[in-house]
Every structure is written in C-alpha cells, then in structure tokens.
C-alpha cells in the first residue's frame, strides 16, 4: 500500500496516478490510500492508514479465533491524546498511555502486517469491557478462553491485570469467571 504522497513521488503527478488506476496497475482502496492489489482487507487498510493504532476488542477477538462473529466495524486502540478517528467504519478506544503498549504483537493478516493485542491482553480487555458487551458474546469468548487457558502465559495475564485501570476489579472477575 501507498499513500497519495508516496504515489506522487513514484508517478510524478495526479494525472499519472489516475492513468495507472485506469490501466488497472493501481487501485484506490481508501481515502488517500492506494494499492497495487485490487483487494485489500479493510482491517489492513485501517492499520496502514493509522500506523500508531492497535487492533483491539471485537476485531481482535475475531482475528484470534475466539468468536465467529464478524465485527461490523474495525476496533482500534490509540493513546488518550491521539486525534479522533473520523471514519464511521472505525470504533476507537482511547487507552491510558502507560497501558497502551502492553501486549502489542505483529501479526500477518492475509499477507499484510498488522499490530494487534495478544490473546493475554485481550482477556484483560474482555474483562474491562464486560458491561459494554452483549452477554451471549461475552460468554462465548469466556468459554473459548477457558479452553485456551493451558496455552496462555499466566504471568502475562497477571502482569496486564495489575497494570490495567481498576486492576482490583479486573483481577476479581478473572478469578471468578476464567481461572
């Protein structure tokens, strides 16, 4: 993928960019985002467009195979001081700066690199947002986490829980519902 600025640098002008589009050598995949591939997954385009954001919540649960519910929008986490994302296809979660970087991993999604929170961090996010999620959806993911428990890094889960806002409540819910 390339930004408009990168395309201008490579092709010289908007005229030549449009020419490449008409010839089928370049495709506009989003506002100001171009690709040499015709199909680019929406999540990959958003991660490229917002490089400081991290895939989280429903998008991450789906990516990690914890649910089969396809998200309606792309959930991205940013720091609290980040600019508001003005795209109705994106749901933005503002995360405290001291907790934002914890659990980020690079993953491959259909040939595209994305930044996403790991499964251990997503368990903490599930518990933190429990009251904002539909009950059936929450239960499905909790049951899938219980099946995964032997393969998860328990030390990471405990560390993330202690760093999370309202850590006492998070630890209490983890103890009662997951562990």
Q: For 126-150, what is each residue's pLDDT tens digit?
A: 999 999 999 999 999 999 999 999 9
Per-residue pLDDT tens for 66-111?
Answer: 999 999 999 999 999 999 999 999 999 999 999 999 999 999 999 9
User: What distances in angstroms separate CA 102 from CA 23, 82, 125, 156, 163, one per listed residue?
Assistant: 44, 17, 12, 10, 9
pLDDT, residue 46, reads 95
Whole-number Å distance between alpha carbons of 50 and 84? 11
């Amino acid at each position: 993928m390339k930004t408009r600025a990168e395309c201008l640098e490579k092709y010289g002008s908007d005229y030549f960019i449009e020419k490449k589009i008409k010839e089928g050598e370049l495709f506009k995949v989003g506002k100001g985002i171009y690709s040499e591939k015709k199909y680019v997954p929406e999540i990959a385009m958003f991660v490229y467009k917002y490089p400081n954001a991290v895939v989280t919540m429903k998008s991450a649960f789906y990516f990690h195979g914890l649910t089969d519910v396809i998200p309606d929008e792309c959930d991205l986490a940013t720091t609290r001081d980040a600019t508001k994302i003005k795209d109705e296809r994106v749901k933005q979660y503002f995360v405290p700066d001291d907790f934002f970087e914890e659990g980020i991993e690079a993953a491959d999604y259909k040939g595209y690199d994305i930044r996403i929170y790991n499964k251990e961090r997503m368990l903490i996010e599930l518990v933190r947002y429990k009251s904002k999620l539909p009950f059936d959806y929450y239960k499905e993911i909790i049951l899938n986490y219980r099946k995964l428990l032997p393969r998860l890094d328990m030390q990471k889960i405990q560390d993330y829980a202690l760093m999370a806002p309202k850590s006492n409540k998070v630890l209490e819910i983890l103890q009662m519902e997951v562990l």
